[in-house]
């Protein structure tokens, strides 16, 4: 809806009303058309101001409408007739002007923004392009290079940057609507000839063809198979090379292709999934989000390795006081230097104060007496963690939340070391912890709703997307990773190379294939855990040190054998690849690995065979997805959206493929089931390939779309 009033005698004011972000739904568009007619037809009105209610201009087209039949007046002619109006129209931008919201503002003759407003064309992140004239007007207003960057990345800009770029005419610290009304009174009689952006010539960049070829090459490289950024370049190229009307035709054509694409659906699924995880509830229906989180002002981080340092920075940046704890003076000083550097760099990027004074470095555990929350981030050593939790339990004041950053150990075992097990939760960060958006908040059987709510709230304060998950080995993300990694090893045994497996996964859209990723994170971490679990080669019976079976199931000792050679990945310069130097970044195929694999196959009488990318993808991804179904079955994740968010934000799953569970739906659940059955027949000693009950149930229920899986899961739980 849109509300119309007349203010200051001669200014017609149109207020968009569609909470919470005033998205341009059919009713809002109809309202704008009607109210513009009213304003233009009223002889007392000399100029018009358009604004949004509740301090938010407009969040763009109503994304919820994309999945149904679009009704109501279309945006393009609506904006065009606004631009053609004979009376000046001023946009009063408060809060946000995003996507169609900014396009609406670009159709106005003037734009006044509040200093705290953010503007942008984020359509590319939804698998779309700004198709209400944005791709044609923005380059005409601010030039091709700047517009291209904003449109292909979807980046939001502050009001100050928008002013500098020339997107807005004025920035105000006062109420932007009042400022726009004053401005509208001032320009009531001014000529509009030079104010209609669609009539501006588009400045062509020098050597236009070469400029766009370079831009396209760069965008393709970063897009990892996403098509929307490519279409964005094509649309901006049309703006630079064609007259406006033809450019608009091109924009429409490109949008038509994107609009119905699977990628757009996938990216919009991610958008809604990311918001759905905030309404966290347990599979049994118990809700945490109705519990009041406790205030957290002071925190302690124990263990200042890579994770602890990142967590310290994230907490300090969120405005908390942090006590950073290490055991030796040397470790403490090294950590202090590293944390200060990280604080300085991020502060510079965000143009804020570094907050060095927020962090106090200490070796004294007794300081835990004074904090509201502790995050333990020592290495994955259960006895050590248990000892720390025992100490904390006796030092901390009542009510202090005790969190662990373990990436997969049992939260309940740690809780049982404390006097208040209800105050223990997992806060599983992803490296680098001050950068990565994802946080798994892990609740044990005894964690209280308040404890979970507090951890979730703290995550939000740190700018993370927090997903509440149940307690099991590896939680959601790492539990699903295990069968995926396992398949990658089996593929090597059967004849693949690390390059082949990584090539297939990177072509699919992962930022990094499994072997490059393992090299980056360090092979020794998982090896030490396997050793502790008596799974690694050194624990196998003498003479069978490379046995391919553990506890009755297939096991590949390849990773252990590599670690036995001291090849721990990038940090040692050697892993699944060779690096120019220790900590070097460029992965090069290593002939040593070829020999090593050949020797290994010979030792186990394995005959190498050729395999293609399709097989690599099916084996790795379907086994990961299958574990995702088991996780849903076990009630560890509340829904498929939670798993998808974890994979997209924490594990580099390509956003344009919507997350593993959405992807399974796109491939077709029946197809995933059929391929898993096939692979399981071929590899009966690999339980990860045995299709889960839930997958079978979903297929038997006619493969409903992902947002309806919860009904089937509920039924499955009620039958148990």
Of 258, 259, 237, give the one whose Cα is nearest residue 247.
237
What DSSP character marks residue 541?
P
The residue from 31, 107, 127, 130 that contacts ligand 3H9 (CB under 6 A) is 130
Q: Where does this chain touch ligand 3H9 (CB under 6 A) — which range of 60-68, 491-499, 564-572, 577-585?
A: 60-68
The residue behind tokens 């995702």 is 628
User: Cβ closer to ligand 3H9: 99 or 639?
Assistant: 99
- CA-CA distance, 361 to 323, in Å (whole number)? 6
Size of the residue set binding ligand 3H9 (CB under 6 A): 24
Instruction: Write the binding mask 256 to 295 for ligand 3H9: x where contact by CB under 6 A, - elsewhere.
Output: -------------------x--------------------
We find the least distance from the C-beta atom of residue 70 to ligand 3H9, in angstroms, to be 9
Q: Where does this chain touch ligand 3H9 (CB under 6 A) — which range of 130-138, 321-329, 474-482, 621-629?
A: 130-138
The per-residue DSSP string of 470-488 comes to E-STTTTHHHHHHHHHHHH
Q: Taking CB under 6 A as the rule, does residue 162 contact ligand 3H9?
A: no
Write down the catalytic residue from 65, 83, 94, 103: 103
Q: Taking CB under 6 A as the rule, does residue 59 contact ligand 3H9?
A: yes
Strands, DSSP E only, in 83-239? 89-93, 96-98, 110-114, 118-120, 157-158, 170-172
User: Cβ closer to ligand 3H9: 121 or 320?
Assistant: 121
Q: Is residue 581 among the annotated active site residues?
A: no
Q: 7-26: which residues touch ligand 3H9 (CB under 6 A)? A: 20-21, 23
The residue from 14, 28, 75, 491 that contacts ligand 3H9 (CB under 6 A) is 75
- Residue 556 tokens read as 């590949």
Is there a contact between 537 and 489 (Cβ–Cβ < 8 Å)?
A: no
User: Cβ closer to ligand 3H9: 123 or 618?
Assistant: 123
User: Cβ closer to ligand 3H9: 18 or 417?
Assistant: 18
We find the least distance from the C-beta atom of residue 611 to ligand 3H9, in angstroms, to be 40
Tell me the helices (H) and strands (E) count for the chain, helix number first.
Answer: 28, 19
**Phi, psi angles (nearest 5°) of residue 388:** -65, -40
User: Cβ closer to ligand 3H9: 126 or 621?
Assistant: 126
Q: Taking CB under 6 A as the rule, does residue 103 contact ligand 3H9?
A: yes
Q: Where are the alpha helices (DSSP H) in 23-155?
A: 26-41, 75-84, 100-107, 134-142, 144-153
Of 574, 553, 539, give the one whose Cα is nearest residue 490.
553
User: In Å, how far from its chain's centre is CA 190?
Assistant: 46
User: Cβ closer to ligand 3H9: 96 or 171?
Assistant: 96
Which residues neighbour 69 within 8 Å (Cβ) at sequence distance 6 or greater? none
Give the Å distances, CA to CA, from 334 to 314, 330, 713: 18, 6, 49
The residue from 31, 52, 60, 483 that contacts ligand 3H9 (CB under 6 A) is 60
- Residue 268 tokens read as 């919009």
Q: Where does this chain touch ligand 3H9 (CB under 6 A) — which range of 32-40, 95-103, 178-186, 197-205?
A: 95-103
Is there a contact between 98 and 122 (Cβ–Cβ < 8 Å)?
A: yes
We find the least distance from the C-beta atom of residue 703 to ligand 3H9, in angstroms, to be 26
- CA-CA distance, 250 to 135, in Å (whole number)? 10
Q: Taking CB under 6 A as the rule, does residue 131 contact ligand 3H9?
A: yes
- Residue 370 tokens read as 């004074």
Write down the catalytic residue from 94, 123, 633, 641: 123
Q: Where does this chain touch ligand 3H9 (CB under 6 A) — which range of 53-61, 293-301, 420-428, 448-456?
A: 53-61
- CA-CA distance, 318 to 62, in Å (whole number)? 31
Q: Is residue 123 among the annotated active site residues?
A: yes
Q: Taking CB under 6 A as the rule, does residue 100 contact ligand 3H9?
A: yes
Q: 452-511: which residues touch ligand 3H9 (CB under 6 A)? A: none
- CA-CA distance, 588 to 564, in Å (whole number)? 21
- CA-CA distance, 203 to 184, in Å (whole number)? 29
Q: Taking CB under 6 A as the rule, does residue 98 contact ligand 3H9?
A: yes
Max intra-chain CA distance, the chain: 97
User: Cβ closer to ligand 3H9: 62 or 502?
Assistant: 62
We find the least distance from the C-beta atom of residue 663 to ligand 3H9, in angstroms, to be 22
Of 277, 339, 327, give the one whose Cα is nearest residue 303.
327
Is there a contact between 569 and 577 (Cβ–Cβ < 8 Å)?
A: no
User: Cβ closer to ligand 3H9: 63 or 488?
Assistant: 63
Active site residues: 103, 123
**Which residues bind to ligand 3H9, rule: CB under 6 A?**
20-21, 23, 59-64, 75, 96, 98-100, 103, 122-123, 126, 128, 130-132, 134, 275
């Amino acid at each position: 809806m849109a509300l119309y009033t007349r203010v200051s005698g001669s200014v017609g004011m149109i207020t968009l009303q569609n909470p919470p972000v005033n998205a341009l739904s059919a009713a809002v568009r109809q309202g704008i058309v009607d109210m513009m007619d009213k304003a233009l037809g009223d002889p007392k009105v000399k100029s018009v101001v358009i604004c949004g209610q509740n301090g938010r201009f407009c969040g763009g087209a109503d994304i919820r409408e994309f999945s149904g039949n679009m009704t109501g007046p279309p945006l393009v002619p609506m904006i065009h007739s606004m631009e053609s109006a004979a009376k000046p129209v001023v946009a009063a931008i408060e809060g946000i002007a995003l996507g169609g919201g900014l396009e609406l503002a670009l159709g106005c003759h003037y734009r006044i923004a509040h200093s705290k407003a953010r503007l942008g064309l984020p359509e590319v992140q939804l698998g779309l392009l700004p198709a209400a004239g944005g791709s044609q007007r923005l380059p005409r207003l601010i030039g091709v290079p700047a517009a291209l960057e904003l449109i292909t990345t979807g980046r939001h800009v502050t009001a100050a940057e928008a002013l500098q770029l020339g997107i807005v005419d004025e920035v105000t610290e006062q109420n932007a609507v009042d400022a726009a009304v004053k401005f509208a009174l001032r320009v009531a009689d001014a000529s509009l000839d030079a104010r209609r952006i669609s009539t501006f010539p588009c400045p062509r960049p020098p050597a236009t063809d070469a400029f766009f070829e370079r831009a396209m090459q760069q965008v393709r490289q970063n897009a990892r198979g996403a098509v929307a950024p490519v279409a964005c370049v094509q649309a901006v190229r049309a703006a630079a090379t064609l007259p406006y009307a033809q450019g608009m035709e091109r924009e429409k054509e490109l949008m038509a292709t994107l609009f119905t694409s699977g990628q757009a659906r996938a990216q919009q699924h991610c958008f809604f999934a990311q918001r759905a995880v905030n309404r966290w509830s347990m599979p049994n229906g118990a809700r945490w989000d109705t519990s009041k989180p406790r205030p957290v002002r002071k925190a302690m981080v124990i263990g200042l390795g890579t994770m602890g340092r990142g967590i310290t920075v994230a907490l300090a940046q969120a405005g908390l006081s942090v006590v950073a704890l290490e055991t030796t003076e040397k470790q403490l000083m090294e950590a202090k230097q590293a944390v200060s550097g990280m604080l300085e760099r991020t502060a510079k990027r965000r143009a804020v104060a570094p907050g060095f004074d927020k962090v106090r470095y200490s070796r004294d555990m007794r300081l835990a007496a004074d904090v509201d929350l502790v995050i333990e981030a020592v290495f994955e050593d259960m006895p050590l963690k248990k000892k720390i939790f025992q100490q904390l339990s006796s030092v901390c004041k009542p009510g202090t939340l005790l969190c662990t950053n373990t990436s997969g150990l049992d939260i309940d075992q740690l809780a049982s070391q404390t006097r208040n097990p209800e105050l223990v939760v997992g806060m599983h960060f992803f490296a680098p912890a001050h950068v990565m958006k994802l946080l798994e908040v892990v609740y044990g059987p005894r964690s209280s709703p308040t404890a979970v709510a507090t951890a979730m709230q703290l995550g939000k304060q740190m700018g993370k997307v927090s997903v509440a998950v149940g307690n099991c080995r590896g939680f959601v993300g790492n539990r699903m990773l295990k069968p995926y990694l396992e398949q990658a090893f089996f593929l090597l045994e059967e004849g693949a190379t690390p390059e082949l497996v990584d090539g297939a996964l990177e072509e699919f859209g992962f930022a990094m294939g499994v072997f490059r990723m393992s090299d980056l994170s360090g092979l020794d971490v998982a090896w030490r855990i396997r050793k502790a679990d008596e799974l690694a080669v050194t624990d196998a019976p003498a003479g069978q040190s490379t046995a391919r079976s553990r506890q009755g199931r297939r096991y590949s000792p390849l990773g252990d054998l590599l670690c036995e050679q001291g090849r721990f990945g990038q940090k040692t310069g050697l892993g699944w690849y060779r690096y120019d130097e220790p900590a070097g970044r460029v992965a090069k195929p290593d002939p040593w690995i070829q020999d090593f694999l050949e020797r290994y196959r010979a030792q186990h009488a394995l005959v190498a065979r050729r395999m293609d990318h399709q097989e690599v993808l099916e084996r790795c991804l379907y086994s990961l997805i299958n574990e995702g179904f088991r996780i849903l079955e076990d009630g560890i994740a509340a829904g498929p959206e939670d798993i998808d968010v974890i994979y997209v934000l924490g594990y580099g799953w390509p956003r344009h493929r919507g997350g593993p569970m959405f992807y399974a739906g796109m491939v077709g659940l029946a197809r995933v089931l059929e391929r898993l059955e096939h692979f399981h027949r071929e590899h009966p000693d690999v339980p990860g390939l045995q299709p889960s009950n839930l997958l079978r149930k979903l297929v038997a229920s006619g493969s409903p779309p992902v947002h309806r899986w919860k009904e089937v899961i509920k039924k499955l739980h009620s039958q148990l």
